[in-house]
């Protein structure tokens, strides 16, 4: 008999309510030289962080994007390095210019796994949809 693991399984949302925003962010990021590494639609519960663990290479420029439900009142993203030290904290509230989209660039000092924890607060809905993207700028190729 196997022991029960307390693993949070990422579940994607039904449909994708943010497709227009996603497409425009991808287009703008590509124009800035970024390439998409990972993306996921995730089911979230109001007031609960959804941990996303990603490997990152030292010195590489990454862009992380979180899109939350437009009716949520608060959006936060915290990012931790391998030693569980918080390296990024972003917070938006409903009505902010960027509203439900949090985007930031980050250059890790070490090649290691990082944990990104988006959360949103919504008093009207318990089950929410979120969308995360990780992009990076490819290193310039050496001239010969």
pLDDT number for residue 1? 45
Residue 25 lies in a domain: no
Residue 24 lies in a domain: no
- Domain containing 79 equals 38-136
Q: What is the CATH number of the domain that holds 94?
A: 2.60.120.380
Cβ atoms of residues 57 and 113 within 8 Å: no
pLDDT number for residue 29? 94
Residue 5 lies in a domain: no
Residue 31 lies in a domain: no
Residue 90 lies in a domain: yes
Distance CA 35, CA 58 (A): 17
Number of structural domains the chain divides into: 1
pLDDT number for residue 11? 66
Residue 3 lies in a domain: no
Per-residue tens of pLDDT for the chain, all 144 residues: 444 455 555 666 776 678 888 899 999 999 999 999 999 988 999 999 999 999 999 999 999 999 999 899 999 999 999 999 999 999 998 777 677 899 999 999 999 999 999 999 999 988 899 999 999 998 765 454
pLDDT number for residue 130? 92
């Amino acid at each position: 008999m196997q022991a029960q693991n307390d693993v949070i399984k990422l579940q994607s949302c039904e449909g994708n309510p943010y497709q227009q925003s996603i497409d425009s962010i991808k287009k703008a990021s590509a124009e800035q030289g970024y390439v998409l590494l990972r993306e996921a639609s995730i089911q979230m519960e109001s007031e609960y962080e959804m941990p996303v663990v990603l490997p990152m290479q030292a010195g590489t420029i990454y862009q992380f994007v979180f899109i939350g439900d437009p009716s949520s009142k608060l959006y936060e993203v915290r990012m931790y390095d391998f030693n569980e030290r918080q390296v990024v904290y972003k917070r938006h509230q409903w009505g902010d210019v960027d509203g439900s989209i949090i985007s930031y660039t980050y250059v890790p000092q070490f090649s290691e796994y990082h944990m990104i924890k988006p959360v949103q607060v919504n008093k009207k809905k318990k089950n929410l949809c979120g969308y995360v993207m990780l992009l990076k700028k490819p290193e310039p190729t050496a001239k010969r």
